[in-house]
Amino acid sequence: MRGLRRGTLKFKVGPFVARIGTTYPLLQQDFLDIYEGYPLAAPEDFVHFNLKVGPVSLLRRWFRPKVIADGGFVASPFVPLPGDLAILALEMGLNWQVGTKSDQFLIFHSGVVAKDFEPSATGEVRPSRAVLMAGQSGAGKSTLTAGLAYNGWRLFSDEFALMDTSDLQLYPYPRPISLKNQSIEVMVERLGEEVFSRPYLDTPKGTIRYLKAPGDSLRNGDRPARLDLVVFPEYSPGAPAQVAEFEGAEAFAMLRGASVNCDRLGQAAFDAISDLTGRCKFFHLQYDTLDMAMRMVEDLMEEAA
**9 and 63, same domain (yes or no):** yes
Please answer whether residues 54 and 24 qualify as being in contact, where contact means their C-beta atoms are separated by less than 8 angstroms: yes
Tell me the residue length of the chain. 305
The sheet with strand 206-211 has its strands ordered as 177-180, 206-211, 200-203
Q: Is residue 204 assigned to a domain?
A: no
d(CA 18, CA 5): 15
The answer to whether residues 77 and 146 belong to one domain is no
CA distances from residue 61 to 54, 57, 82, 115 in whole angstroms, order as listed? 8, 7, 10, 45
Does residue 203 fall inside a structural domain?
no
Evaluate whether residue 115 is within a structural domain.
Answer: yes
Number of other CB atoms surrounding residue 67 within 10 Å: 27
The tally of domains found in the chain comes to 2
Residue 61 domain-assigned (yes or no) = yes
Which range marks the domain in which residue 51 is found?
2-101
C-alpha–C-alpha distance, residues 290 and 293, integer Å: 5
pLDDT of residue 54: 80
Q: Given this model, what pLDDT does residue 24 score?
A: 87
> Do 15 and 134 fall within a single domain?
no
In this structure, are 74 and 123 located in the same domain? no
pTM above 0.85? Answer: yes
56 and 125 inside one domain: no
The CA-CA-CA angle for residues 294, 238, 231, to 5°, reads: 35
Task: Based on the fold, state whether residues 64 and 119 are members of the same structural domain.
Answer: no
175 Cβ neighbours under 8 A, 6+ residues apart: 13, 91, 94, 157, 158, 159, 213
Q: Roughly what angle, to the nearest 10 degrees, separates helices 248-258 and 267-279?
A: 130
Q: Which of 71, 101, 131 is the last residue of a domain?
A: 101
Report yes or no on 206 lying in a domain: no
Per-residue pLDDT of the chain (305 residues; tens, 9 = 90+): 577 878 789 999 999 999 999 988 899 999 999 999 999 999 999 999 999 998 775 555 555 678 888 887 656 678 889 989 999 999 999 999 999 999 999 999 999 999 987 665 666 667 799 999 998 777 789 999 999 999 999 999 999 999 999 999 999 999 999 999 999 999 999 999 999 999 999 998 899 999 999 999 999 999 999 999 999 999 998 888 999 999 999 999 999 999 999 999 999 999 999 999 999 999 999 999 999 999 999 999 988 76
**What is the Cα–Cα distance from 250 to 232, expressed in whole angstroms?**
13
- Asked which of 67, 101, 135 is the last residue of a domain, the reply is 101
pLDDT for the residue numbered 198: 96
CATH of residue 164's domain is: 3.40.50
Q: Which amino acid is at 283?
A: F
